[in-house]
Amino acid sequence: MKKSLLALSLLGGVAFAQDKPLDPCGSPNEVFSKYLLDQCYKGYFKAIMEAKKNADEALRLAKETNNKVGDLENRVSSLEKTADDHERRIRALEAKKPEAPQPKSEGVGPYKWQLEEIGVVYFDFKKFDIKESEAKKLDKLVDKMRESGREVLVVGFADKRGTSNHNFNLSMWRAQMTASYLAKKGVDIGKIRVAAYGKEVADLLGRDLKTQRVVKIFLVY
| Inside any domain, residue 21 | no
Q: Are 121 and 214 in contact (CB under 8 A)?
A: yes
Q: What's the domain count of the chain?
A: 2
Q: What pLDDT is stored for residue 44 in this prediction? A: 63
Nearest alpha-carbon partner for 91 in 79, 83, 99? 83
| Inside any domain, residue 191 | yes
Tell me the angle at which helices 132-148 and 164-184 cross, rounded to the nearest 10 degrees: 60
In Å, the largest CA–CA distance within the chain is 170
Domain check: are 91 and 149 in the same one?
no
Q: Would you list the DSSP string of 174-215?
A: HHHHHHHHHHHTT--GGGEEEEE--GGGHHHH-SSHHHHSEE
Domain check: are 213 and 126 in the same one?
yes
E-only strand ranges, 53-191:
115-122, 151-156
| Inside any domain, residue 13 | no
- The CATH number assigned to the domain holding 199 equals 3.30.1330.60
pTM beyond 0.75, yes or no: no
Q: What pLDDT is stored for residue 14 in this prediction? A: 45
| Inside any domain, residue 149 | yes
SS3 state of residue 20? coil
Q: What pLDDT is stored for residue 11 in this prediction? A: 46
Q: Are 179 and 128 in contact (CB under 8 A)?
A: no
| Inside any domain, residue 197 | yes
Q: What pLDDT is stored for residue 103 in this prediction? A: 47
| Inside any domain, residue 119 | yes
Which residues, given as ranges, of the chain have pLDDT below 50?
2-3, 5-18, 21, 103-106, 108
How many other CB atoms are there within 10 angstroms of residue 202's CB atom?
Answer: 21
Write out the residue range of the structural domain in which residue 176 sits.
115-220
Q: What pLDDT is stored for residue 174 in this prediction? A: 94
Q: What pLDDT is stored for residue 49 in this prediction? A: 75
Give the C-alpha separation, 49 to 40, whole Å.
16
Give the C-alpha separation, 114 to 215, whole Å.
18
One-letter amino acid of 27: S
| Inside any domain, residue 170 | yes
Q: What pLDDT is stored for residue 169 in this prediction? A: 92
Domain check: are 121 and 215 in the same one?
yes
